[in-house]
Structure 1
Amino acid sequence: MKKVIMMASVASMIDLFNKENIKILKELDSEVHVVCNFDFGNITSAERITEFKKELECENISYTNLPIPRNIFDMKNIFRSYRELKHFLKDKDFSLIHCHSPIGGVLARLAGKKYRSKGLKIIYTAHGFHFFKGAPIKNWLLFYPIEKYLSKFTDTLITINKEDYKIAQRFSQTHLEYVPGIGVNTEKFSTSAVKREAVRKELEIKSEDFTLISVGQLSKRKNHAIVLKALSEIKDARLKYIIVGFGELETELKQMATDLNISDRVFFLGYRGDINELLHASDCFIFPSLQEGLPVSLMEAMAAGLPILCSKIRGNVDLIHQNENGLFFDPLNEKDVTKAIHSIMTYNKNKMSKNNLARIKRYDKKVIEKEMIKIYKTSLY
C-alpha cells in the first residue's frame, strides 16, 4: 500500500477542495495522511473543522496538525512547521505528497526535496498564483521567483486556469498539467429539494424581489464592499443582497450596510450548509472578487442555472463569456458594478441560465476525477 500525504496550509482547504482527491487515492489502494493547520486560519467554522476531523477518523485517515500560517511573514510558525514536517517525513517512506496553497506548497517541497531521490513524488496544485495580470509588482518580485525556484522540486505542477498554465510553462517542473478546478457536482446543484418560495419566506424576501447572492469569505479579496456601495446607489427596495460566509470583515461590512441605509436589503447569513437551496432561491450570482484561481462558488452558481455578474479577472474569464452566460464589471469601479446590476435586472436571464447549464458540464466533477486518476496513477506507479 502506497503512503500519501495530502497537505495544505489550513484544514478547510482539504475539507472544501480535496475530499474527492482523498477518495480517489484510497480507491487506488493508498494510505492517506492529512497534514495541515486545524487550529487557525480556516475559512469554515470551528464546528465544521471538528466535524471534519471526525469524518477523517471514521475513514481511518490519520491527520497531523502543523501551525502553518496564512501570512508569509509569520516566519516563526513557518520555520516551526518546516521542522515538524521534516521530522514527520523522516523514516516514514511516503510515495507521494500532494500539496496545496502557497505556504503549504513551499513547506512540502522544501521538506520533501531530499526524499525525491528515494522515490518520493511531489504534486503541487496552484489554486491561483499570487502573481497574475494586474497584480501588484511586489507580488511578482516576491512570489514569482519562489514558485520558479520550487518548480525544480516539483514532479507535477497542476494549474487550474489558463493564465497560470501559460506562466507555468516557463518553470522547471517535470510535468505540467491543466486541470480546470476541483469540479462541481452539476447534478446536485441543478435542482433543489426545498422550494424557492419556502427559502425566500424564511428570509422574508418577497416573490417580486430581485435577489443577488454572493458566497465567499468576508475578506478584502472577496470585495463585497463594492456591491454594498452599488446597492446604495440603486433606490429600489425590491433589490436584495444575500451574503453567505464569514470572515475578518464581517463587522465592518455590517456597519457599512447600516451607514449606507441598506441594512434592510442585505442579509448576512454566515456559514451555511444549504448553499444549493439559497442559490435556487436567488435571481443572480454576483462575484466581485479581486483575485481568484478558478472559483468553485461561481461554478456552483452556474450549475444552479443562475446568470452571473462578476469581475473580469483571471479564472472568471475561463468560465464566463460576456453577454452569453454573464456580464463582467470592473471590481474597483462602483459605477460599473451599478450599471451591471441595472443591466442584469432587465436582461434575458433564461438565455444565460441555459448557457450556464450547458457550459458547466465540462467542469463536472466526473470529468475532473478522470484527470486526477491519470495524474495519480502516473505519480504512484
Structure 2
Amino acid sequence: MPNKILFCATVDYHFKAFHMPVLEWFKQQGWEVHIAAKGELELPFVDRKFNISIERSPFHSNNVKAYRELKAIIQQQDYNIIHCHTPMGGVLSRLAAQPARKQGTKVIYTAHGFHFCKGGSLLNWMLYYPIEKRLSSMTDCLITINTEDYQLAVTKKFKAKRIAHVHGVGVNTTHFKPLQKLDKWRLRQELDYRTDDFLMFYAAEFNRNKNHQLLIHALAAIKEAVPHGRLLLAGKGPLLEESQALAERLGVGSMVHFLGYRTDIDRLLPMCDVAVASSLREGLPVNLMEAMACGLPIVATRNRGHSELVIDGENGFVLEPTDMELFADRLRKLSESLELRQRMGATSADIVKKYSLPQVAHELSEIYKPWMEQPKDNLGVLQLAVQ
C-alpha cells in the first residue's frame, strides 16, 4: 500500500494558488496525494479529489454534511498525514480526523492568519480563539506564517505537539524579479503607459477588508502634485462597481485602471514604481512578497502581515489605515525621488529572500520528513522541487 496524504481546505483553488510545489514533491516521493475541498478544478499531482460540501461561514448548515463526508473519507482511506488549511478546513478536518489520529495518522494545520489578533474585534476573539485553542490539542503540528501568530500560539499555550513558524507559502523569485530600465520602458509602451507615469499596483479582491477606498482617496489627494500617477487595481469582487463609482466621483476615473482578474501579475508588477496595500487584516500577503521580489518599495496599512514584511522607512512605509493624508504624502514622496524608490526597492528584494519558495520548501520538508516512513537520506529535497 502506498503512503497517502490528504490536503483539506475550503475551496480547491487554494491549492492551485499556493501549494502546487508541495503536491508535486509528495508525488516525487512516491506518495498518493488526495485533496478534499469544495470545487471541481482539475489539479495536477493529485491522485484523488473529493468535492465536499464545505462552506466558509462557520454557521452554514452544509458544514455538518462536510464533516460527515470528511469523516467517511478519512476512515476509508487510511492516511499517513492529513494537512489542513483555511479556517473551516482546519476545523472540520481536525474534528473528523480524531479516530484516525488515535491510530497514528499525523495531523498538521497551517494557520494562514488567525482571525483573532492584536487589535482584532472582540467578536472574533470570542468566536475563533476558543475554537482554535481547543483544536490545537488535536494537532500534531500547528504551522504559523507570521511572528505575531507564532508568539500568540506559544504564549497562550496552544496544545499542539509542535508549533512551527514557516515563512508563508513561498514566493517564486524566478518568476517575480526586477526588470532593467529599458525592459521596463518597453513593457510600458506595449501596455500603453508612458515612461514617466508613476505606476502604483495592488492585486486584491474588491471587498471590505481590502479597503480599496483608501487608495482611491489617497490618489485623489495627490492628483495635482502627481498628474501622471496611475493606480492599477487587479481583481474582481463585490465592491468593484462601488470603487469605480468612487473614482469617478473624486475626479480620478482616468487615473485608476481597473484591470479585472489577471494571470500575468509577474509581467505587470516589474514595470511599476510602487506597490500599495490597504487591507485591514492580513496573515502574510503573497501580493506584497511578489512585489518585493520585483524590487518595489511598499506603502501599506499597518497590520500583522504587512508589518512582518515592510520595515517603515527601510523598504517602504507602514501607516495606520485611517490616515489617508499620510498615505497620500508617502506616495507623493516616492513619486518625487527615483533614488528613494531604488533604495527601498533593493531592500525589499533583499528582505524577501527568506520568503522564497526554496526557503519555505526547506522549512516544510523538515516538518514532513520525521513522519514519512522512510529514512531521511532517501527523501528528495523539497527545495529542489520548487526552484
Q: Give the TM-score taking structure 1 as reference length.
A: 0.92
- Partner-residue secondary structure (3-state), 1:368: helix
Aligned identity (percent) is: 37
Superposed displacement of residue 198, structure 1 = 4.2
Q: Tell me the residue number matched to 1:216.
A: 204
Please give the per-residue CA displacement for 1:16-68, whole angstroms capped at 9, x wherever unaligned. 111111122222321000111116xxxxxxxxx4xxx1x43xx4532111121
The 8 Å contact of residues 24 and 373 in structure 1, kept in 2 or not, is answered as no
Structure 1: distance between partners of 2:250 and 2:58 = 35
Structure 1: distance between partners of 2:12 and 2:210 = 20
Q: Tell me the residue number matched to 1:125.
A: 110
Please give the per-residue CA displacement for 1:75-133, whole angstroms capped at 9, x wherever unaligned. x1111111111121222111111110101100110011121111111100000000011
Structure 2: distance between partners of 1:251 and 1:61 = 40
Q: Tell me the residue number matched to 1:38.
A: 39
Please give the per-residue CA displacement for 1:164-188, whole angstroms capped at 9, x wherever unaligned. 0011112000011100101111132
2:317 to 304, 310, 327: 327
Q: Tell me the residue number matched to 1:274.
A: 264
Q: Tell me the residue number matched to 1:63.
A: 49
The 8 Å contact of residues 196 and 277 in structure 1, kept in 2 or not, is answered as no
The 8 Å contact of residues 211 and 280 in structure 2, kept in 1 or not, is answered as yes
Q: Tell me the residue number matched to 1:256.
A: 246
- Partner-residue secondary structure (3-state), 2:34: strand
The 8 Å contact of residues 211 and 284 in structure 1, kept in 2 or not, is answered as yes
**Corresponding letter in the other structure for 1:338:** A
1:96 to 76, 81, 88: 81
- Are residue 86 (structure 1) and residue 71 (structure 2) matched? yes
Superposed displacement of residue 7, structure 1 = 1.0
Q: Tell me the residue number matched to 2:372.
A: 380
**Corresponding letter in the other structure for 1:68:** I
Please give the per-residue CA displacement for 1:262-319, whole angstroms capped at 9, x wherever unaligned. 1111111111111111111111000111111111110110000011111121021121
Q: Tell me the residue number matched to 2:173.
A: 186
2:326 to 336, 346, 360: 336
Structure 2: distance between partners of 1:25 and 1:247 = 34
Q: Tell me the residue number matched to 1:359.
A: 351
Q: Give the TM-score taking structure 2 as reference length.
A: 0.90
Q: Tell me the residue number matched to 1:309.
A: 299
- Partner-residue secondary structure (3-state), 1:315: helix
Q: Tell me the residue number matched to 1:158.
A: 143
1:232-247 alignment, distance < 5 Å: 232-236=220-224, 237-247=227-237
**Corresponding letter in the other structure for 1:63:** K
1:195 to 183, 186, 191: 183
Structure 1: gaps of 5 or more residues: 40-48
- Partner-residue secondary structure (3-state), 2:174: helix
- Are residue 350 (structure 1) and residue 336 (structure 2) matched? no
Superposed displacement of residue 197, structure 1 = 3.0
Residues 341 and 21 of structure 1: CA distance in aligned 2, closer, same or farther (over 3 Å) = same
Please give the per-residue CA displacement for 1:119-148, whole angstroms capped at 9, x wherever unaligned. 111100000000011111111111000000
Q: Tell me the residue number matched to 1:2.
A: 3
| RMSD over equivalenced CA pairs, Å | 1.7
Structure 2: distance between partners of 1:335 and 1:137 = 28
Superposed displacement of residue 202, structure 1 = 4.4
Structure 2: gaps of 5 or more residues: 374-387
Structure 2: distance between partners of 1:334 and 1:350 = 24
Range with bigger deviation, 14-23 or 149-158: 14-23
- Partner-residue secondary structure (3-state), 1:6: strand
- Partner-residue secondary structure (3-state), 2:115: coil
Alignment length (residue pairs): 365
Range with bigger deviation, 6-15 or 142-151: 6-15
The 8 Å contact of residues 304 and 357 in structure 1, kept in 2 or not, is answered as yes
Structure 1: distance between partners of 2:371 and 2:115 = 26
Superposed displacement of residue 191, structure 1 = 4.3
The 8 Å contact of residues 328 and 340 in structure 1, kept in 2 or not, is answered as no
The 8 Å contact of residues 179 and 271 in structure 2, kept in 1 or not, is answered as no
**Corresponding letter in the other structure for 2:27:** K
Structure 1: distance between partners of 2:94 and 2:367 = 18
- Partner-residue secondary structure (3-state), 1:318: helix
- Partner-residue secondary structure (3-state), 2:345: helix
